Chains A and B, each alone.
Chain A
Amino acid sequence: MATQRRRIGLRARVISSFGLLSFLLSLGLAGATYFLIQASTMERREATALDEAFTNARQLRSQILAVGVAELTQDDLLRRAPIDGLAVLKAGSETISSSRTVGNTSFDPDHIPVELSLAVDGRRAAIFRSHIEAEPVLYIGVPVQLGAGVTAAPSAPATPAASDPTATTASTVPTEVAPAAQAANPDWVAYYEISSLADLEGTFDTMLLALLGAVVLTTLVGLLVGRWVSKRVLAPLRDVNDAVEALAEMSFDTKLPVTRDPDLAPLVSTFNHTVAALHDRIERDGRFASDVSHELRSPLTTLTNSVAILERYADDLPEPAQRAVSLLTEEFQRFQQLVGDLLEISRFDAGAQRLERAPLVIGEFVRLAVRMTCPDQDIPISIDPDLEEAVIMADKRRLVQVLSNLAVNAQRYAGGVTDVAVTRARGGVEIAVVDGGPGVPLEDRIRVFDRFARGITANKRGSDTGTGLGLSLVAEHMRLHGGTVRVEDRLDGAPGARFVVYLPATPVSIYDTEADFEAAGIGADL
Chain B
Amino acid sequence: MGTRILTVEDDERIRASVKLALEAEGWIVEESENGEQAMEVFNRAPADVVLIDIMLPGVDGFEVCRSIRKVSDVPIIMVTARDDTHDIVAGLEAGADDYLTKPFAPKELSARIRALLRRSRSNEPTMSHMRFGDLEILQDEGVVTVAGEEVHLTRTEFKLLCELANNPGRVFSREVLLERVWGYGYFGDGRLVDVHIRRLRTKVEQDAANPRHVVTVRGLGYKLQT
Contact = CB atoms under 8 A, between A and B. Distances in A.
B59 to A, nearest CB: 19
B204 to A, nearest CB: 17
Given A294-B81, A294-B82, A514-B218, A301 B14 contact: yes
A365 B222 CA distance: 18
Interface stretch (A119-127, A352-360, A480-488): A352-360
Interface stretch (B65-73, B104-112, B149-157): B104-112
B20 A309 contact: yes
Contacts of A303: 103
A208 B138 CA distance: 105
A525 B219 contact: no
A524 B81 contact: no
A306 B17 contact: yes
A290 B105 contact: no
Given A294-B81, A302-B14, A517-B219, A308 B102 contact: no
A interface majority secondary structure: helix
A524 B219 contact: yes
B26 to A, nearest CB: 12
Interface residues of B, number: 41
Contacts, number: 110
B57 to A, nearest CB: 14
Nearest to B102: A297
Contacts of A517: 218-219
Contacts of A299: 13
Contact of B217 (A356, A518, A524): A524
B1 interface: no
Contact of A301 (B17, B173, B218): B17
A91 B113 CA distance: 144
A297 B103 contact: yes
B81 A358 contact: no
Interface string A498-517: 00000000001010001001
B220 A298 contact: no
Interface residues of A, number: 41
Contact of A523 (B20, B89, B219): B219
A400 interface: yes
Interface in B171-197: 173-175, 185-187, 189-191, 194-195
Interface of B: 11, 13-14, 16-18, 20-21, 24, 55, 81-82, 84-85, 89, 101-107, 173-175, 185-187, 189-191, 194-195, 198, 216-222
Given A364-B175, A397-B187, 19 more contacts: A293-B82, A297-B103, A300-B102, A301-B14, A301-B17, A301-B103, A302-B17, A305-B17, A305-B18, A305-B20, A305-B105, A308-B107, A356-B190, A359-B219, A391-B219, A396-B190, A523-B219, A525-B194, A525-B216
25 contacts: A297-B101, A297-B102, A297-B103, A298-B11, A298-B14, A298-B102, A301-B14, A301-B104, A302-B13, A305-B20, A306-B17, A312-B24, A356-B85, A358-B174, A358-B190, A359-B219, A359-B220, A368-B185, A510-B220, A522-B218, A522-B219, A523-B218, A524-B217, A524-B218, A525-B216
